[in-house]
Amino acid sequence: MTRRVIIDTDPGIDDAIAILFALAHPELDVAAVTTVAGNIGIETTTRNALRILALAGQGIPVHPGAGRPLKRGSRTDTRIHGVDGLGGVAFPEPEEPASSEPAHMALRRLIADAPAGTIDILALAPLTNIARFVEEAPDVARRIGRLIAMGGAVREPGNVGPRSEFNIAHDPEAAEIVFSAGLPLTLVPLDVTRRVRADAVYLARLAALGTKQALVCRDLIAAYFTGTSGGESRPLHDPCVPLLALRPDLFATHSMRLSVNLGEDELAGALEPGEHALAVAMGTDAPAVLDLLAETLGQALSSPRTTSHQ
Ligand code: BDR
Ligand code: CA
């Protein structure tokens, strides 16, 4: 069965891989892409989303969203993702302008207009846009099919603080709003994404596939090796979200009660035992997940979409 999805993203090397995977998989129908400041500023994440769609030849609308967290200053990560957010990897120029409809309003319109439960949100970034949408239109938000969000660290150390992960730490207040909204949310923390890793053998496998999206993903991961240090493999955080959307059976998901640390110190954005009941992916069949990612990137992309821009 095909699932309609909206991808909320801050591309971002691993965001780009996740988007290309979703576009290549015949059972995911990407209705729109919404962008947010995160790995890099909003102008660049929006431009990068348009460049990724241009590479894929897909006329899917891109709605620019929040340029900063709800209550805090931005933190970017050009060290990992490069000054262009995509590790300097060559992408075509955008073929379309971004939509004039902001992300939170597009989320509201698309979900209100669709039958209840038929659109999933794949959240690959700080939750600022989704928090705005949920606060402004809680009744519409209850029509979301599934919200699957990369973020947090439960038993793993964090990646921007001892216990905090980038997407949650960038906008902890947004995460707390989304967690408390009673949505069908599955969180995909570092506990899982650090198990889904690309090494040199995987890069060679992508290269051998020969499709343009596999080759660009190979280049993106190679750039990720340049921007980070340590070990012989790199975690593929954001691709775990569309992978879980398609194959939840490849992930071990547990019910947990969590809250977000809203302090100002190094624990800001850390997940703590709390009051919000969430489904949290804590394990995965990493070889099967990596196989699905490579097999999908090796498939021909579907025909260009003709969705009109709004
Ligand atoms: C998350 O932070 C970003 O740098 C990645 O794109 C991913 O969404 C991992 O902590
Ligand atoms: Ca991201």
- List, for residues 59-116, the tens digit of each pLDDT value: 999 999 999 999 998 776 677 778 898 999 999 999 999 999 999 999 999 999 999 9
Q: What is the 303 CA–ligand 2 centroid distance (Å)?
A: 26
pLDDT band, very low/low/confident/very high, at 57 (cuts 50, 70, 90): very high
Q: Which atom of ligand 1 is nearest to the CA of 165?
A: 10
Q: Which residues surround ligand 2, an ion (CB under 5 A)?
A: 10, 12, 15, 124-125, 238
Residues contacting ligand 1 via CB (< 6 Å):
12, 14-15, 39, 77, 124-125, 150, 159, 165-167, 237-238
Say what percent of the chain tops pLDDT 90. 89
Look at residue 153 and tell me if it is in a domain: yes
Q: Kindly report the number of other CB atoms within 10 A of residue 239's CB atom.
A: 30
Q: Is residue 303 part of a domain?
A: no
Lowest mean pLDDT among 137-151, 170-184, 215-229: 215-229
Residue 70 belongs to some domain of the structure: yes
Of residues 242, 278, 173, the one with CA closest to residue 33: 242
| Predicted TM-score (pTM) of this structure | 0.96
Work out the average pLDDT over 136-154. Answer: 98
**Nearest bound ligand to CA 19?**
2
Name the DSSP letter for residue 11.
Answer: -
For residue 309, being part of any structural domain is answered with: no
pLDDT tens per residue, range 234-277: 999 999 999 999 999 999 999 999 999 999 999 999 999 999 99
The boundaries of the domain holding residue 114 are 3-297
Closest ligand 1 atom to residue 159 Cα is 10
Q: Is residue 176 part of a domain?
A: yes
Share of the chain above pLDDT 70, in %: 96
Judged against a pLDDT cut of 80, whether residue 285 lies above it is answered with: yes
Atom of ligand 1 nearest to the CA of 80: 4
**CA atoms of 253 and 272, how far apart (whole Å):** 18
How many structural domains compose the chain?
Answer: 1
Active site residues: 237
d(CA 29, CA 305): 10
CATH number of the structural domain spanning residue 286: 3.90.245.10
Mutation test residue for ligand 1: of 80, 237, 271, the one with most atoms within 8 Å of CB: 237
Cα-to-centroid distance, 307 and ligand 2 (Å): 25
Residue 285 lies in a domain: yes
